[in-house]
Structure 1
Amino acid sequence: MSFLEIKNIRKKIGPNEILKGIDIELEKGGFLVLVGPSGCGKSTLLNVIAGLLPQTSGDIVIDGQVVTDLHPSKRDIAMVFQSYALYPNMTVEENIAFALEMRGVEKAQREAAVKQVAKTLQIEHLLKRRPSQLSGGQRQRVAMGRALVRQPRVFLFDEPLSNLDAKLRVEVRAEIKALHQNTNATIVYVTHDQIEAMTLATKIVVLKEGTVQQVGTPADIYNRPANLFVADFMGSPAMNMLKGKVSDGGIALFGSDGIKVDMPPSVTTSLPDGKEVILGLRPEAISDTGLLDPNVRSVARIDADVTMVEPTGSDTFVTGKVDGATFTARTRADVHVAPGEKFTFAFNLDKAVVFDPQTGNRIS
């Protein structure tokens, strides 16, 4: 049974409809990540769930209770902001305990709760410090502790890592994941960072211009994107989009005559010859032949001109070009290739997805 239900939520600001009928369900203990480009409505939706913004229509249901018209303080929700929002004149201990104090919780009980949360977040040694004496990562831990100590029904995170540097983002992201695993909290998390979405979520919602493009597990979103927008937005580097045409059970790529690649039967059996398509392949599905999985059923070896080589340490991204069309491959770190050379790329067609260029939707 769904613990959090977002039912046909619409939000207008003036003449502009920011949210256009959002329907999402989340099980108890789930980690839902709302992801999408700036202006897609993800933070607006989070604020509607929190009660900080009134919806134009629709309902928010938590654990079977309709909270649509309840004041934020009555929804039993805790929110963690990107700006931390700590009280500068209070110590860490006082910041964490403040919400409990406002609820009239006895001092001994407050102290025990703060001690337990501080231990969970490994900030016991910071309890007597003030926010000005903390690093950005420490402040974010305190903000998380202030939310956690209340034991709310739902946690809301609004881009909590955006103010941290790259190394701290990785560290705090791991702490948030561990927090979820250890507490089984129900979390709704907003980010524009697809890596955060993929690593943290049990369920991802991809938004564009106030509409849901796809809902699914990280694996679903990455491997079976519903449309070209999701395929392009999720993944770094983005999925390769190669124009082609169905031909005798395969697909001709790169130009009018094209290089014919044989596709798995499940991909093209329902498509008529001559139909224009877009073949989607993640960079890791295009590699040097030495990385080719021996269990691949359908593979194409294509010679292409190398236009760019980008070493990343663990592997190397190589950009290839055929008849004006470019693609990015993920190869071994020690592959010997340079711009201007010809190189043989192995296309793992078992990993291919096919899109309709007219509708943008995935065909298979």
Structure 2
Amino acid sequence: MSFLEIKNIRKKIGNVEILKGIDIDLEKGGFLVLVGPSGCGKSTLLNAIAGLLPPTSGDIVIDGEVVTDLHPSKRDIAMVFQSYALYPNMTVEENIAFALEMRGIDKAERETAVASVAKTLQIEHLLKRRPSQLSGGQRQRVAMGRALVRKPRVFLFDEPLSNLDAKLRVEVRAEIKALHQNTNATIVYVTHDQIEAMTLATKIVVLKEGIVQQVGTPAEIYNLPANLFVADFMGSPAMNMLKGKVVAGGVALFGGSTTVAVPPTVTSALPAGKDVILGLRPEAITDSGLADPTAHAIAFVDAQVTMVEPTGSDTFVTGRMDGVNFTGRARAEVPVTLGQTFRFAFNLDKAVVFDPESGNRIG
């Protein structure tokens, strides 16, 4: 049974409709990530759940209770902001305990609760410091502790890592994941970073211009994107989108110079001559030595190398054939140089096919 239900939520600001009929449900203990480009409506939706921005229409239900018209303080939720929002004149201990104090919890119980949360987040040594004496990562842990100590029904995170540097972002992301695993908290998390979405979520919602594009697990979103927008937005580097045409034996690519055998369950239902877009993630395009020996369909393509990007563990290689660029992921030690002709292995078991007219996946 769904613990959090978002039912046909719409939000208009002036004449502009920001949210256009959002329907989402989340089980108890789930980790829902709202992801999409700036202006897609994800923060507006989070604020609607929090009660900070009432929707124009629709309902929000938490644990069977309709909370759409409830004041934020009555919803039993806790929010972690991008800006931390700590009280500068209070110590860490006082910041974490403040919500409990406002509820009238006695001092001994507050101290026990704060000590437990501080241990979970490994900030016991910071309890007597003030926010100005903390690093960005430490402040974010305190903000998380202040939310966690209340044991709310739902945690809301509004881009909590965007103010941190790259190394700290990875560390705090891991702490948020561990927090979820250890507490089984129900979390709704907003980010524009698709890596955060993939690593944290049990369920991802991809938004564009106030409309849900796809809802699914990280694996479903990544491997079976519902449309070209999701395919392009999720993944770094982005999915390769190769224009092709259905022919006998598969799909003709690169101006018809190469025919690849995509799964017949896809192309058999399509008329010959139909234009399609073949989607392949960079890891499905490798050097020939890294080709998956268990794959049913591998196509080898010789193309000129136009870019080499070593990352340490892998090397991203961009090839160009008949004016079309594509990016593959090769072994770190593979010998490849700019301008050479390089043999790429296309794992067509991993291919997805899109209709260029509608943009939707058709196989």
Partner AA of 1:264 in structure 2: P
State the SS of the aligned residue for 1:11: strand
Instruction: Encode CA deviations 1:69-91: one digit per residue, 9 max, x unaligned.
Output: 00000000000000000000000
Q: Is the 8 A contact 2:244 2:253 kept in 1?
A: yes
The TM-score, its normalising length taken from structure 1, stands at: 0.99
* Partner amino acid, structure 2, of 1:157: F
Correspondence 1:41-190 to 2 at 5 A = 41-190=41-190
Q: How far 1:258 moved relative to its partner?
A: 2.9
Q: Which amino acid aligns with 2:132?
A: S
Specify the alignment match of 1:332 in structure 2: 331
Aligned-residue offset at 1:249: 3.4
Please report how far the alpha carbon of residue 50 of structure 1 lies from its aligned counterpart in structure 2 after TM superposition. Answer: 0.1
What amino acid is aligned across from residue 109 of structure 2 in structure 1? Answer: Q
How far apart in 2 are the matches of 1:32 and 1:270? 35
Q: Is the 8 A contact 1:137 1:168 kept in 2?
A: yes
1:263 & 1:107 partners in 2: Cα distance? Answer: 66
Residue 133 of structure 2 aligns with an amino acid whose one-letter code is Q
Gaps spanning 5+ residues in structure 1: where? none
Residue deviations 1:78-124, cap 9 Å, x none?
00000000000000000000000000000000000000000000000
Q: Distance in 1 between matches of 2:258 and 2:172?
A: 47
| Secondary structure, counterpart of 1:19 in structure 2 | strand
Paired residue type of 2:359:
G
Other structure's SS at 1:319 match: strand
In the alignment, which residue of structure 1 is the partner of 2:318? Answer: 319
Partner of 2:240: 240
Matched residue type, 1:362: R
Deviation at 1:268, TM superposition (A): 1.1
**Paired position in structure 1 for 2:271:** 272
| Aligned 1:13-52 pairs, distance under 5 A | 13-52=13-52
Q: Is the 8 A contact 2:305 2:320 kept in 1?
A: yes
Residue aligned with 1:96, SS: helix
Aligned equivalents of 2:358, 2:121: Cα separation in 1: 47
Query: Could you say which residue in structure 1 is the equivalent of 2:222?
Result: 222
Q: Which amino acid aligns with 1:175?
A: E
- CA–CA distance in 2 between the matches of 1:107 and 1:249? 74
After TM superposition, the score normalised by the length of structure 2 is: 1.00
Q: Which residue of structure 2 lines up, in the alignment, with residue 198 of structure 1?
A: 198
2: CA distance, partners of 1:273 / 1:347 = 22
User: 1:172-202 CA distances to partner (integer Å, 9 max, x unpaired)?
Assistant: 0000000000000000000000000000000
- Specify the alignment match of 1:344 in structure 2: 343
Structure 2: stretches of 5+ with no match in the other structure: none
Number of positions where the alignment pairs a residue of Structure 1 with one of Structure 2: 363
Cα-Cα RMSD:
0.5
Which digits, 9 at most, give the CA deviation of each residue in 1:224-283, with x for residues without a partner?
00000000000000000000000013000011x331111222221111100000000000
User: What is the CA–CA distance in structure 2 between the aligned matches of 1:267 and 1:344, rounded to whole Å?
Assistant: 26
Partners of 1:194 and 1:270 in 2: CA distance: 33
- Cα distance, 1:339 vs. partner? 1.0
Q: Secondary structure at the match of 1:345?
A: strand
Identical aligned residues as a percent = 84
Residue aligning to 1:302: 301
Corresponding residue for 2:359?
360
Partner of 2:254: 254
